Chains A and B, each alone.
Chain A
Amino acid sequence: MELGKNNYKYYQQPREKKKISKELLIFSGFLLVIIVIIFTTFYDGMPITGKAISSVNLNNSVQFSSELTRPDLNLKGEYSEINISFSSKTTIYLGEKSFAFDDSKENSMILSDFSGKIKIEGGGVILDGRVSGANLNGLPIKEKNDKRIKVSSDSKISYSSIDFKENLFLKKLDYIASGVLYVGEENQDSINLDKDPLAISDYLGKLKIIGETLFLEGFAENIDIEGNIKKISISK
């Protein structure tokens, strides 16, 4: 209480705590949900999910190439071009069109600007995504108005080769591998693997599977090999 001019007593009204209204809370929640949807859709692997994808720092990476046994892969993302050669009795759906193939001859499929999931399991591949266009045995397929086309198949496609034309990123490749790893710019060092646990972290480079062999050529931030008589960890 203060004594103001003319000795009047002024009482300071205690400030009322402002309550956060329910409406404001709901609207804030709504905005947050929209931000989460847009951010996670356009920036795959945001920190909330704990799987942040970042570009590989080539200065801190090991350059290598390899010919290894084929692993099972679950890929998700956007790939500018994927070439698949296959001879498999299957039906491939591109948008509303379906294309039936048999296993009597080798077929080729080129997918442009694929976004979605690719599951490589054994000698088969399952596609679930959309493309801007495709080429099946030389026949180009594109939607009017450049609308993206949904691609899928009724069964696993038995491939003879899969080739990702542009560099792709793998956060972790972890499996029991056999084959050869060439390390260094000029492949000066080679490491033989014989059913050894191999872990490659943050790989950026080319990926090709021909038959039962996985070909990698690129950079990785870390390569770990754990064998019975050897334990090798390579990083820069």
Chain B
Amino acid sequence: MGHTNILIKVRKSRKSYSLVYLMVIVIIGTLVYLNNKGLTIPTIALIISGGFILLLIKFTEVHRIKDWWAITDSALIQSLGLINKNIREVRFSSISDMDIHKPFFKRFLNYGDVNIRLFLNDTSINMKDISRPEKFVEAFQSIISQNRRNSHGIGQE
């Protein structure tokens, strides 16, 4: 599985964790508000809040980096998992079509799912929560076209 020439590499967008970040902001905001009101916040509350915030951020980062997708000049590579890795490489010739799924909420933050369907195979590749999925699909299609042009060019020679 040679993937020395990675042209595009994508992961889940941080925008998909916006609700988690909002929770962090609400917790910090509550602490600041209570402090400004002149109330003494007990140490136990600060420790629990700080610990929870660190845990949330750690969880989102780990959750984000565990899956990635990469496009080389001839294949799409999917890597799922951090400890138990599952890597799959799909040649461009196996790809039949792709579609974008952007529900109402995700449209505001411009991220969504890209679904890559394959010929003769039930298992499509679902790239969840990619930032700017239209641009990604456009770039992907352009790479596929370039690959086809190159292979036809070689064939003709």
Q: Which residues of A contact B (CB under 8 A)?
A: 26-27, 29-30, 33-34, 36-38, 40-42, 44, 48-49, 76, 115-117, 129-130, 148, 150
**How many residues from B make CB contacts under 8 Å with A?**
20
Which residue of B20, B30, B45 is within 8 Å of A26 (Cβ)?
B20
A38 to B45, CA, bound (A): 9
* Chain B contact residues, majority secondary structure: helix
**How distant is the Cα of A150 from the Cα of B35 in the complex, in angstroms?**
10
Interchain Cβ contacts within 8 Å, total number: 58
Cross-chain contact B23 with A37 (CB below 8 angstroms): no
Chain B's nearest CB lies how many Å from the CB of A86?
23
Q: Is the CB of B44 within 8 A of A130?
A: no
Q: Which of B48-56, B85-93, B108-116, B132-140 contacts A (4 or more CB under 8 A)?
A: B48-56
Shortest CB distance B134–A (Å): 26
When distances are taken between beta carbons in the complex, the residues of chain B under 8 Å from A117 are 40
Are A49 and B48 in contact (CB-based, < 8 A)? Answer: no
CB proximity of A194 to chain B, nearest CB, Å: 38
By a CB distance below 8 angstroms, the chain A residues around B41 are 37, 40-41
Asked if B153 is an interface residue, CB under 8 A from chain A, the answer is no
On whether A42 and B45 interact (CB within 8 A), knowing A30-B52, A33-B52, the answer reads no
Q: Are A30 and B38 in contact (CB under 8 A)?
A: no
